Amino acid sequence: MGSWVVNHWFSVLFLAAWLGLNIFLFVQAFLNFEKNDKYYYTRQILGTALAVARASARCLNFNSMVILIPVCRNLLSFLRGSCSFCSRTLRKPLDHNLTFHKLVAYMICALTAIHVIAHLFNFENYSRSQQAPAGSLASALSSLSHHEKEGGSWLNPIQSPDMTVMYVTFTTIAGLTGVIITLALILIVTSATEFIRRNYFEVFWYTHHLFFVYILCLVLHGIGGIVRGQTEKSMHESHPQKCAESFQKWDNNDSGCRRPQFEGNPAESWKWILAPFILYIFERILRFCRSQQKVVITKVVKHPSKVLELQLNKHGFSMEVGQYIFVNCPSISLLEWHPFTLTSAPEEDFFSIHVRVAGDWTENLIKVFEQQHSPMPRIKVDGPFGTVSEDVFQYEVAVLIGAGIGVTPFASILKSIWYKFQREDHNLKTQKIYFYWICRETGAFAWFNDLLASLEQEMEELGKVGFLNYRLFLTGWDNNIAGHAALNFDKATDILTGLKQKTFFGRPMWDNEFSTIATAHPKSVVGVFLCGPRTLAKSLRKCCHRYSSLDPRKVQFYFNKENF
């Protein structure tokens, strides 16, 4: 627990500040509507549900402002570059932008539920006040008409006992936009579940853009001014503390209390979301302009296990290790953009991606390139964008763990290392790299066999055999493969990969691996980088905490996971 706090204190502080602001805004708005004399008469009809509805609305505005910032990828890449001199702890929150985006979305869902339930009580109380006994304060307040010459006199939007709550909901700006906001939010959240994203990405992509509808309706939601308070002028002429009990004499000039006048609260949602929305629009314009630049496909390579490698060229393209791009193929879909980690090194004169079948779009992309008789399809590229893998050379010891196609960011890193050794770069801080690649089928190892073989040879020639320690694990095999490998175990090269390092069958014993690394580097800072499934991330995170020393001068493991 101690090492976890040391590694994540800034992220914890950031989340605490965000939660603290939510609590502060909720309490402040709640107390204002619960105690302010301006809403005394409104509370006589609505009760505490008024304060709950307005407090949740204030927090909804705040979180609707915040939720767009984590998906401004250019902004995050800029901040990552600007914070390159900062400690890795300060950059940590940038690596969890999508996690924070989801967390804010869950908060919006919870606040929306509170807001909707509170307004259901409010509308029920409005309806009941119309049926209140004659001569009661609720009846007097509900009888204030919409048609008074002096505007803004009414308090109850339900003008007669015959008017239903459903009618008011669908005939007022606040009610109708509220329904649309809620429906849009339900669709956005349900389509963002992991099952939908993995199996029906197109549904997720299109539905998620309903947030434009959400934002527009949120801006319009408060225009109707259904929740009303007493005007300043009326407060001076008929203060509720003096005149509430003599409401039956409001029309009597001798009472000194005039009939109260009310006004709707001005819409304020736009004040919260205007700046981040403009920032987001600027982000999309920038990405659109950049995506229109010409991309030249220089090479197409078909690899085993349904993987396609594309080597591309683009004027002015500059990248760092581990970064990713978004790719669009107009012949498949004009609107869909999919993220791919770059597998090339910054030192190469091209950039490359490896595409594995993982849905309809990727399957169609591979089919398009397999049709050799047809002209080469047009590709649009947006990026690159920064990831946590950019920090790999900031660690003395790096542990790289890829599962299946999750090896792609580490291919970029390993290639860059090869080039650094070629030009004898003495500024390389990293002294040791442990590379783990876990695959289900033997064909996957062919994707980067040549790269690993080149690294093996390079390390031998430079006398740095111990710099790279790599282990390949096969999790899916049959008895014939295992038996054949056992019979040929004494050969110089592995029969499955042709490399000197033998392939292991099964999954790594992570406790043993971490224990060995901690023993070999008792005073080092070790960066653990994963591109793989969430279950594996959970196990590795626990190992990082378990094998990090409480003494900051001794071995410390920092866990980093690719998120895009």
Q: What is the mean pLDDT of the chain?
A: 82
The CATH number covering residue 343 comes to: 2.40.30.10
Quick one: 516 and 426 in the same domain?
yes
- Is residue 198 included in any domain, yes or no? no
- Is residue 247 included in any domain, yes or no? no
**Token output for 260:** 């109260």
Quick one: 125 and 264 in the same domain?
yes
- Is residue 205 included in any domain, yes or no? no
pLDDT of residue 152: 52
Number of folded domains that form the chain: 3
pLDDT of residue 149: 44
- Is residue 520 included in any domain, yes or no? yes
Q: What is the pLDDT of residues 156-213, one digit of tens each?
A: 888 777 778 888 888 888 889 999 999 999 999 999 888 888 777 778 888 998 999 9
Quick one: 228 and 347 in the same domain?
no
- Is residue 102 included in any domain, yes or no? yes
Contact by Cβ (8 Å): 532, 402: yes
- Is residue 252 included in any domain, yes or no? no
- Is residue 250 included in any domain, yes or no? no
pLDDT of residue 477: 63
Bridge partners (DSSP) listed for residue 311 = 299, 352
Quick one: 437 and 517 in the same domain?
yes
Q: What is the pLDDT of residues 323-339, one digit of tens each?
A: 889 999 888 888 788 88
Quick one: 381 and 272 in the same domain?
no
What is the helix (H) or strand (E) element at residue 550, kind and residue range?
none
pTM of structure: 0.79
Quick one: 264 and 128 in the same domain?
yes
In the predicted model, what is the mean pLDDT of residues 40-65? Answer: 92
In terms of Cα–Cα distance, which of 313, 315, 380 is closest to 348?
313
How many Å apart are CA 518 and CA 548, to the nearest integer? 8
pLDDT-derived band at 78 (thresholds 50, 70, 90) equals confident
Task: Choose the final residue of a domain: 385, 409, 424.
Answer: 385
- Distant-in-sequence, close-in-space partners of 434: CB < 8 Å, separation ≥ 6: 397, 398, 399, 400, 469, 470, 471, 513, 517
- Distant-in-sequence, close-in-space partners of 34: CB < 8 Å, separation ≥ 6: 43, 48, 50, 51
Domain residues for the domain of 143 are 11-172+224-241+257-284
pLDDT-derived band at 24 (thresholds 50, 70, 90) equals very high
In terms of Cα–Cα distance, which of 385, 393, 413 is closest to 564?
385
How many Å apart are CA 21 and CA 66, to the nearest integer? 12
- Is residue 215 included in any domain, yes or no? no
Quick one: 367 and 270 in the same domain?
no
- Distant-in-sequence, close-in-space partners of 266: CB < 8 Å, separation ≥ 6: 222, 225
Q: What is the pLDDT of residues 115-166, one digit of tens each?
A: 999 999 998 888 888 877 777 787 778 777 654 444 557 888 887 777 788 8
Quick one: 18 and 73 in the same domain?
yes
How many Å apart are CA 297 and CA 220, to the nearest integer? 46
The CATH number covering residue 403 comes to: 3.40.50.80
**pLDDT above 90: percentage of residues in the chain:** 20
Q: What is the pLDDT of residues 293-324, one digit of tens each?
A: 888 988 888 877 778 889 999 888 888 888 88
Quick one: 404 and 380 in the same domain?
no
More confident residue, 221 or 459: 221
Pairing of strands 307-314, 295-303: antiparallel
Quick one: 155 and 276 in the same domain?
yes
Quick one: 263 and 369 in the same domain?
no
Task: Choose the final residue of a domain: 385, 404, 435.
Answer: 385
How many Å apart are CA 528 and CA 525, to the nearest integer? 10
Quick one: 457 and 439 in the same domain?
yes
The answer, yes or no, to whether the previous bond of 384 is cis (omega within 30 of 0) is yes
